[in-house]
Amino acid sequence: MHQEIIARFNSLKEKQLSIDITRGKPDTNQLDLSNKLLDLSIPLVSENGIDLRNYGEPFGIIEARRLGSELLNAPFENVIAGEQSSLLLTYQTILSNYLFAEPLAWKSLKKPKFICPVPGFDRHFKLLEDFGIEAVPISLIEDGVDIQQFEEIINNGDDYLGILCVPRHSNPSGTTYSDENIKKMFEIGSNFSNKFLFLFDHAYLIHDFLPTIKQTPLWEIAESSKVQDQTVITTSFSKVTFGGGGISFLASSGEYLELLKKIRSTMIICPDKLNQMRHVEFFKDLKTIKSHMNEHANLIKPKFELAYSVLEKLPDECGTFSKPTGGYFIAFSTSKPIASKVVSLCEEIGVLITPAGSTFPNGNDPNNSIIRIAPTFVSEKELTDAMEAFITCVELAHFDISI
Ligand SMILES: Cc1ncc(COP(=O)(O)O)c(C=O)c1O
């Protein structure tokens, strides 16, 4: 058996592959779905008479905010339509509190901490690190965060400022939180403090490619749990139209919203209103957005199915993998502490995978086990090679075979 695995490794190496499955990016054919945006002619004045070519509307044009309000199921006045990046809105939310939170700015706290579900998004950890905020890991279980752990963590420390999580098709395990899980999180967090921030990165809000469990809109749950003043929800069109070329949206209320508006008013005079109007004209309403997302799903789904079918060839003892119904990633979990070995073996074959550990704060996966796979950006041919290389490397590392 070992000889066969070594032979596979060598023949893959001979192919001199150069395949990058590190980041969850849309493939070209997905980007093509939005090409009409490139030469769409649009009105130059918004319905309230604002000239889109000039300064004005710091929180977005009303037409775009209305679209955001439909997307996030939040009242119009609670929604901002920003620049092209939701991560920027998340950053600004943290920054505004770091500088100006009342009664004490976060920069004055001795050991500020945020709870972060793991495996999670590397950029979230880096973002918190920029502010000297410790990212305290909490396990993700099937239907969201491990509530018992959440309660234990929060009751054992003072300086917990909030939780930063991806509640639908999380990056990278694809976990979708149940309503029950979110309600429990709201209950425990708000009992701990009426300032505890529920910061939801809803990057994959409309990115299902297979039937997904029903999730009540977060804003609705936040309102019924009376925590809307402690809730911030962000999303964007980065994986709807163009990566880094869409519109970002944020819904919040109370002081968190006011602080964000305050800091944004210093930072930027207004977002790109022409791009906002282009998107409004392109989509018109939520129904069109959803049918556009079906077209994405039709392109993405076969790639995930292909990845699953190759991963299924691995002997069970080697590990397990998540089978998301949406989003952009698969999380593979090795049963032995060999993730870094697998990633470096893949690199030897010419297949680049996100560094092991990067889905944990400080790059520290205590079990050296989680590997993120991003199947969307490459062609199906490349993906087949990459996945064959991946399983071969998992087997080599798992059975400790020397090459
Ligand atoms: C969880 C998550 N949030 C945010 C982003 C980036 O979003 P944006 O382009 O809107 O900043 C990504 C991109 O991969 C992501 O996976």
Per-residue tens of pLDDT for the chain, all 403 residues: 799 999 999 999 999 999 999 989 999 999 999 999 999 999 999 999 999 999 999 999 999 999 999 999 999 999 999 999 999 999 999 999 999 999 999 999 999 999 999 999 999 999 999 999 999 999 999 999 999 999 999 998 888 999 999 999 999 999 999 999 999 999 999 999 999 999 999 999 999 999 999 999 999 999 999 999 999 999 999 999 999 999 999 999 999 999 999 999 999 999 999 999 999 999 999 999 999 999 999 999 999 999 999 999 999 999 999 999 999 999 999 999 999 999 999 999 999 999 999 999 999 999 999 999 999 999 999 999 999 999 999 999 999 999 8
The residue among 284, 318, 351 that closes a domain is: 284
Which DSSP helix (H) or strand (E) runs through 113? strand 113-118
Distance CA 9, CA 402 (A): 11
Let me know whether 52 and 106 are in one domain. Answer: yes
Q: Strand pairing partners for 51?
A: 45
Which of the listed residues 90, 93, 121 should we mutate to test ligand 1's pocket, taking the one with most ligand atoms within 8 A of CB? 121
Let me know whether 242 and 357 are in one domain. Answer: no
Ligand 1 centroid to Cα of residue 87, in Å, is 6
Q: Strand pairing partners for 117?
A: 138
Let me know whether 146 and 53 are in one domain. Answer: yes
CB 79 within 8 A of CB 249: yes
Which of the listed residues 80, 123, 124 should we mutate to test ligand 1's pocket, taking the one with most ligand atoms within 8 A of CB? 123
Ligand 1 centroid to Cα of residue 344, in Å, is 26
The whole-number pLDDT of residue 106 equals: 98
Let me know whether 149 and 87 are in one domain. Answer: yes
Atom of ligand 1 nearest to the CA of 87: 11
Ligand 1 centroid to Cα of residue 203, in Å, is 6
The whole-number pLDDT of residue 138 equals: 98
Ligand 1 centroid to Cα of residue 234, in Å, is 10
Let me know whether 110 and 177 are in one domain. Answer: yes
Distance CA 323, CA 278 (A): 35
Radius of gyration for the alpha carbons in the chain, expressed in angstroms and rounded: 22
Let me know whether 262 and 126 are in one domain. Answer: yes
User: Domain of 344?
Assistant: 2-24+289-398
Backbone angles phi, psi at 333, to 5 degrees: -120, 110
Q: How far is CA 248 from the centre of its chain?
A: 13
- Structural domain contains residue 101: yes
- Structural domain contains residue 29: no
Q: Provide the domain count of the chain.
A: 2
Which tokens belong to 263?
Answer: 């800091």
Percent of the chain, pLDDT > 90?
98
User: For ligand 1, is residue 85 a contact (CB within 6 Å)?
Assistant: yes
- Structural domain contains residue 52: yes
Q: CATH no. for residue 233?
A: 3.40.640.10
User: For ligand 1, is residue 201 a contact (CB within 6 Å)?
Assistant: yes
User: For ligand 1, is residue 166 a contact (CB within 6 Å)?
Assistant: yes
Let me know whether 356 and 274 are in one domain. Answer: no
Which tokens belong to 208?
Answer: 């299902």
Atom of ligand 1 nearest to the CA of 25: 14
Q: Whose CA is nearest to atom 6 of ligand 1?
A: 87
The whole-number pLDDT of residue 158 equals: 80
User: For ligand 1, is residue 390 a contact (CB within 6 Å)?
Assistant: no
User: For ligand 1, is residue 203 a contact (CB within 6 Å)?
Assistant: yes
Strands 113-118 and 134-141 turn out to be parallel
Q: Which of 303, 321, 305 is nearest to 376 (CA)?
A: 303
User: For ligand 1, is residue 73 a contact (CB within 6 Å)?
Assistant: no
The residue among 284, 312, 346 that closes a domain is: 284
Beta carbons within 8 Å of 179's beta carbon, 6+ residues apart: 214, 215, 216, 221
Let me know whether 266 and 312 are in one domain. Answer: no
The whole-number pLDDT of residue 212 equals: 97
Q: Whose CA is nearest to atom 15 of ligand 1?
A: 203
- Structural domain contains residue 244: yes
Let me know whether 122 and 271 are in one domain. Answer: yes
Ligand 1 centroid to Cα of residue 263, in Å, is 21
User: For ligand 1, is residue 22 a contact (CB within 6 Å)?
Assistant: no
CB 177 within 8 A of CB 167: yes
Which tokens belong to 348?
Answer: 């030897």
3-class SS letters over 141-159: ECCEECHHHHHHHHHCCCC
The residue among 245, 264, 284 that closes a domain is: 284
Let me know whether 338 and 223 are in one domain. Answer: no
- Structural domain contains residue 403: no
Q: Residues 284-307: pLDDT tens digits? A: 999 999 999 999 999 999 999 999
User: For ligand 1, is residue 234 a contact (CB within 6 Å)?
Assistant: no
Atom of ligand 1 nearest to the CA of 238: 9
Let me know whether 246 and 130 are in one domain. Answer: yes
Ligand 1 centroid to Cα of residue 112, in Å, is 24
Which of the listed residues 31, 71, 86 should we mutate to test ligand 1's pocket, taking the one with most ligand atoms within 8 A of CB? 86
Atom of ligand 1 nearest to the CA of 239: 9
Q: Residues 355-387: pLDDT tens digits? A: 999 999 999 999 999 999 999 999 999 999 999
The chain-wide mean pLDDT, for the chain, equals 97
3-class SS shares of the chain: helix, strand, coil, % to 5: 45, 15, 40
Q: CATH no. for residue 342?
A: 3.90.1150.10
- Structural domain contains residue 57: yes
- Structural domain contains residue 31: no
Which of the listed residues 171, 176, 233, 354 should we mutate to test ligand 1's pocket, taking the one with most ligand atoms within 8 A of CB? 171
Let me know whether 226 and 100 are in one domain. Answer: yes
- Structural domain contains residue 30: no
Distance CA 336, CA 319 (A): 8
Distance CA 139, CA 15 (A): 39
Distance CA 378, CA 111 (A): 42
Q: How far is CA 110 from the centre of its chain?
A: 29
